[in-house]
A = this chain, B = another copy of it.
């Protein structure tokens, strides 16, 4: 039984036919006409039509960055795309003639890791995507947790520091402001700007211009042994582990799956995260320490998870 998964990103629409073992049989892409809902839908329908030509599919799953209603049909709000209370599933069903379910993109990716990736042996999983921002997906007892209005799993906006750093969401101290790519780069720039000697190799690698510092550069220098860059990534990891220890009091998962661009730093990120987690976990002498594992599906997770959720 095949289904199609679609991952609508800010710049690219990726779609593929996925089988029941989570393999992508064939795939295609379109660019994202971000500011026009109708054009996005037309592009998705076009990709689906292409994929359908050679494969019989039972439905379409769509992952999108935004708040998706609990009915899995409506996008209530998307920060980077043109949707406001938008009946996305209905529109796509009309255009494709196939049953469509819509899912938040982090949820779709998390579901792929749970079904086919790093957490196939878990019953309860928390996936954290440490990219430019911070994404989350919760699976409990084999069910994806969506919440009342589809807002569940928004780990980015758990409070890390009361009255802390302002967040784009209009509140202060959200975890995303402490453990995501944006936070990593901001800290590097701030410290470089203040003349912090430990930032010198990084600043030099950025051609002396702190504005040129970005996440991949920090990761590369850290992997080459630069102590300043390693400290920056370790700080991100410490905040991550500290935040997840607090969250474990609520959810007590079997495993934490860590994905996203910053996770490319591997143990430079995860070891400090594990240490902070162990240090901050309540009742840690009476319970096992949930492992932190790196996500295994890579960029495919969005397509595969969305497709699987459509079956």
Interface residues, chain A, CB within 8 Å of chain B? 67, 76-77, 123-124, 136, 138, 140-141, 143, 145-167, 169-174, 178, 186, 190-191, 193-197, 242, 245-254, 280, 282-288, 290
Contacts and interface: CB of A to CB of B under 8 A. Distances in A.
Contacts of A186: 166
A279 B163 CA distance: 13
A196 B171 contact: no
A169 B194 contact: yes
B280 A159 contact: yes
A76 B287 contact: yes
Contact of A170 (B76, B77, B153, B193): B193
A250 B153 contact: yes
Contacts of A138: 250
Number of copies of this chain in the oligomer? 4
A229 to B, nearest CB: 17
Nearest to A192: B170
Nearest to A172: B165
Given A147-B124, A152-B250, A285 B165 contact: no
A290 B70 CA distance: 15
Given A159-B246, A162-B163, A166-B186, A252 B195 contact: no
Contacts of A161: 161-164
Nearest to A286: B77
Interface centre among A138, A173, A196, A252 (most CB of B within 10 A): A252
Contacts of A76: 286-287
A171 B282 contact: yes
Nearest to A144: B141
A140 B146 CA distance: 9
B249 A67 contact: no
B155 A170 contact: no
A270 to B, nearest CB: 19
Interface centre among A148, A150, A178 (most CB of B within 10 A): A148
Contacts of A157: 246, 249, 282-283
Contact of A283 (B148, B151, B246, B284): B151
Interface centre among A67, A76, A147, A288 (most CB of B within 10 A): A147
17 contacts: A67-B283, A76-B286, A140-B147, A151-B252, A151-B287, A152-B251, A154-B282, A157-B249, A158-B250, A159-B245, A163-B178, A165-B165, A166-B186, A170-B191, A170-B195, A174-B282, A250-B250
Nearest to A79: B283
A153 B251 CA distance: 6
Contacts of A150: 252
